[in-house]
Amino acid sequence: AAAAFAIGVLTVTLLNPLAAAFSARYESDRANLMENYLTDAPKEVWLRQGDDRTQMVIHAKQRDTTQGRVRLTGVSLFVYQKNKQGIPEFKRRLEAAEAQLYPGYWKLTDVREAAAGESSVRSESLSIRSTLDAESAMERFAAPESVSFWRLPDAIRLTEQAGFSANGYRLRFQQLLATPILFAAMLILAAAFSLRLARLGGLAGLAGAGVGLGFVVFFFNEFSGALANADIIPLFAAAWAPPVVALLSGLALLCYTEDG
């Protein structure tokens, strides 16, 4: 169980970032390959960024996230500023033919800017401060499973700053933290099912029961995650209940098998 716990720690801290990087690369390449598949209509993209004072909603018709860059075309930016009561108020809108994300700012090309009650102003290029970087922006297009363990705290913070719900990222983070305990619990369950002496018979049924119980734990884990995503149960309970229940069940079964 201790060895399984250590393997779980290595899985979360080392293997998960590698798997997340491959998963993110797969989603990015798949999105680029399927961009115009079976349809000529460009795919719409929505992003949101902000801080305590300003919120910005970004809408674009196409995107390019190859080679670690983010380039949007057909861009509309809606800028809101919070008043003293904390309510966002519309301030201005920007239309741009293209927007490319650089460290700390968006570079807009062929821009038309208009504020409420004012005429529009055109400019060839314009820079807008951004709280996103290329990696965090691409994470907005990806599932929580495509974000590495080390990037999840930043993803949660930036998502909540932008006014979105970060429940998916929070659940994923808690599930990864609970992974070492889940590994240890599964090994204790396996030990409990492997202690029967061969001469007593019934080993095939015992092995089948062990495999079945493994599927039950897996289903319980997935079901808890679905309930948390639907806001039916707390995220912490959904992430930690399956490994803790599996651990306690394994210890109880182990004690019963050993002591009768």
Measured CA to CA, the distance from residue 143 to residue 130 in angstroms comes to 22
DSSP tally for the chain: helices H, then strands E: 7, 7
**Among the ranges given (64-68, 72-76, 98-102), the one the predictor scored with the smallest mean pLDDT:** 64-68
- For residue 257, the tally of other CB atoms under 10 A from its CB is 14
Measured CA to CA, the distance from residue 172 to residue 214 in angstroms comes to 21
Would you state the pLDDT for residue 14? 92
**What confidence tens digit (pLDDT) does each residue in 14-63 have?**
999 898 888 777 876 776 676 656 555 556 777 777 777 788 888 887 66
Asked whether 239 and 246 are in contact (CB, 8 A), the reply is no
DSSP state of 67: G
Token representation of residue 185: 């619990």
Asked whether 55 and 78 are in contact (CB, 8 A), the reply is no
Domain ranges of the chain: 1-29+144-260, 45-132
Residue 134 has phi, psi (to 5 degrees) of: -60, -40
Would you state the pLDDT for residue 68? 57
Burial status of residue 128 (CB atoms within 10 A of its CB: 0-12, 13-18, 19 or more): middle
**What confidence tens digit (pLDDT) does each residue in 187-242 have?**
988 887 777 655 566 667 777 777 888 888 889 988 998 888 888 889 899 999 99
DSSP state of 15: I
User: If you average pLDDT over residues 109-133, what whole number do you get?
Assistant: 82
Would you state the pLDDT for residue 36? 58
Q: Taking the complete model, does pTM exceed 0.75, yes or no?
A: no
Please, which residues bridge with residue 54 across strands? 81
**Among the ranges given (38-47, 89-98, 155-164), the one the predictor scored with the smallest mean pLDDT:** 38-47
Token representation of residue 28: 């990015």
Query: What average pLDDT does the structure give for the chain?
Result: 80
Place of tokens 């290329």: 134
- 251 pLDDT above the threshold of 60: yes
Residue 141 — very low, low, confident or very high, per pLDDT cuts 50/70/90? low
Would you state the pLDDT for residue 100? 86
